[in-house]
Chain A
Amino acid sequence: MSEVKLLVVDENSKLFDTTGMFYKEFDSDFRQIRYYTLLVVQKAPAEIKEINLLEQQISEIIKNAVKHGNKCDPKKKVKVWYYFSVDKAHLIVQDEGEGFKDLEKWNDFNKKRINCFVKQNFDEMDKFVSFKTNQSDDHDSGNAMFAAVEYWNGGVVFNKKKNGIAVLKTFPKKKHGLDMSSL
């Protein structure tokens, strides 16, 4: 059975603790999203980049803030806190938008999607492959957060206004040297 992972609202989550994290502030320029992402991800050790998977997952969160949060308004900023080590990636992104008002609808939608996946009912799944709202446009794919809740295994948490998101991923520690346990 596939566990259904949820988007959570918890202003007091420890994932919002910015202590010891790096900080950058970006304009809401859609054309620069991948560049902003590279500025953040360059701090990550190669061991956790998984070629470019970490970059891709961070890019989705920055894109949501620039596009859906700030509506690409050049007067609005995106604030990013980040910390990386060989066993952890921690990111907080806050925009100046109205917040993700459809969060509960998204959780319900994702439950139905996972249910189709568990039953391997791909005809029914056709209805749940893209989460669209009345704010979505033709370029919105509506699938980024499906992968995000799976990738960020330490949680995906929103602040009370739902315009700030904190995510954490932990990586298994790599063993170095010889394994002596079997000797």
Chain B
Amino acid sequence: MELKVRKFSSTYIIDVNGEMDLYNSYKLKELVLKMIEKKIGQFIINLENVDYIDSSGIGALIFICSHIKKINMKLQISNIHGSVKKVIELTKLMGYFPISNSIEEAIAKIEQ
């Protein structure tokens, strides 16, 4: 799994590439926590290039979502598809996670 960060206006987009599994999902949690320490408060986690997620990946997203909610910061998760979407649906987290269909939609929701 590779993580790349880019910025659009005051929102930081984390592009996740590869598989979010039991061996690497903690890296996303660590990255977001470091960014929060640097006072970054608007995030998009872009899963467009993620084709595999397991319970550890879902756990990382739950941790991030829950943490960001508690400190009143903003998060959107964008471009879920395929088996990633299916696992989120099976875990009944579609309404719990702030999900957007595209980066553009995510930016609009965050900046409204």
Contacts and interface: CB of A to CB of B under 8 A. Distances in A.
A122 interface: yes
Interface stretch (B5-13, B32-40, B50-58): B50-58
B109 interface: no
Contacts of B87: 53, 56, 147
Contact of A147 (B55, B62, B66, B95): B55
A120 B93 CA distance: 10
A68 to B, nearest CB: 12
B83 interface: yes
A70 to B, nearest CB: 15
A106 interface: no
A117 B92 contact: yes
A114 interface: yes
Contacts of A147: 55, 58, 87, 90-91
A144 B83 contact: no
Given A129-B62, A151-B90, A56 B83 contact: yes
Contacts, number: 76
B15 interface: no
Nearest to B69: A126
Contacts of A126: 66, 69, 96
Q: What's the dominant secondary structure at chain A's contact region?
A: helix
B68 to A, nearest CB: 12
A113 B92 contact: yes
Contacts of B51: 51-52
A60 B54 contact: yes
Interface string A37-70: 0000000000000111101100110010000000
Nearest to B88: A147
B83 A60 contact: no
Contacts of B48: none
Contacts of B90: 146-147, 150-151
A50 B92 contact: no
A113 B62 CA distance: 14
Instruction: From B23, B53, B60, B83, name the one whose CB has the most chain A CB atoms within 10 angstroms.
Output: B83
9 contacts: A52-B83, A53-B83, A53-B86, A55-B52, A113-B92, A117-B95, A122-B96, A125-B96, A150-B91
Interface of B: 21-23, 26, 51-56, 58-60, 62, 66, 69, 82-83, 86-87, 90-93, 95-96
